[in-house]
Structure 1
Amino acid sequence: MSAETAPPQPARRRIRRSPGDRLRDAVIALAGKDAVLARHIEKSWASITFAGTRHTLEIVYSGDGIAAGERFIADLPDHEFALAGQLVADAVIVSADHALLPEPRLSVTCELLLLEEG
């Protein structure tokens, strides 16, 4: 008798998330379930002693979600991010634009400086 064997399974590829991916996810988690990420720009940054990346994120809230946007504006500058091997050295709100028509909308742009812990 021959034993039947299952065909070999392909190796599962683990997708490696970058520090920028983890930062973006942490910011969106802080922004709340009503937040919609409209834009994320990442640029390399370095000084004489530090290296990292500067991130610009635009987050949009609409309708009843605007209250969550107001909380995000208040909470971001003092929020302690927990990102392994990385330090959020600066987190600021760059702009907050309100519109009433065609529906209430709040667009928040923030910048974060992410440094490699060494």
Structure 2
Amino acid sequence: MSVEPMIPRPLRSPRRTVAERLRAALLHLAEGTADIPIHSETPWASVTFAGTRHRLTLQFAGLDAVAAGERLIDALPDHEFTLPRHLVADAQVVAVDHRLSPDPHMTVRVEILLVEEC
């Protein structure tokens, strides 16, 4: 009697959350030059809509990264995000900290309101 060897099935990668997709979209907008050390998410609702408010801190280190961060600051308010089943109702830069010494560094805090599509 022969026994066929068991072939393991590839594990499915877990679906990314909307927060992970938002971080990926921001990193793409930052041209891959930023780190996101802080990301908080709180539920948000109005009479007709539900969603989440995201507060993120992006850090840019080095001259090229800071230049990419400045382009992100310019582009963010009008950027068209593509997030499944969510719309970006508001995207704002709420704080920027530039430092040139000893090395160029910039910290950008953003707030983004995501609304669930009906």
Normalization by structure 2: what TM-score?
Answer: 0.91
Q: Distance in 2 between matches of 1:110 and 1:87?
A: 16
SS in 2 for 1:12: coil
In 2, distance between residues paired with 1:33 and 1:82? Answer: 17
Q: Distance between the aligned counterparts of 2:61 and 2:83, measured in 1?
A: 29
Equivalent residue number for residue 69 of structure 1: 69
Q: Which aligned pairs between 1:82-93 and structure 2 lie closer than 5 A?
A: 82-93=82-93
Instruction: Specify the alignment match of 2:46 in structure 1.
Output: 47
1:13 is displaced (CA, Å) by: 3.5
CA contact (8 A) 2:96 2:107 kept: yes
Q: Which runs of 5+ in 2 are unaligned?
A: none
Question: What code does the residue aligned with 2:54 have?
Answer: H
Alpha-carbon offset, residue 101 of structure 1 = 2.4
CA displacement at 1:17 relative to structure 2:
1.4
Return 32-41 or 106-115, whichever deviates more. Answer: 32-41
In structure 2, C-alpha distance between the alignment counterparts of 1:77 and 1:19, rounded to whole Å: 19
The aligned counterpart of 1:33 is 32
Structure 1: stretches of 5+ with no match in the other structure: none
SS at match of 1:113: strand
**Identity fraction in percent:** 46
- What corresponds to 2:19 in structure 1? 20
Q: Runs ≥4 in structure 1, deviation > 6 angstroms? A: none
Aligned residues: 117
Alpha-carbon RMSD across the aligned residues, in angstroms, is: 1.5
Task: Find the aligned partners of 1:21 and 1:45 in 2 and give their Cα distance.
Answer: 18
Give the distance between the partners of 1:59 and 1:9, measured in 2 at CA: 40
Moved more, 75-84 or 10-19: 10-19
Q: How does the TM-score come out when normalised to structure 1?
A: 0.91
Equivalent residue of 1:5, what SS?
Answer: coil
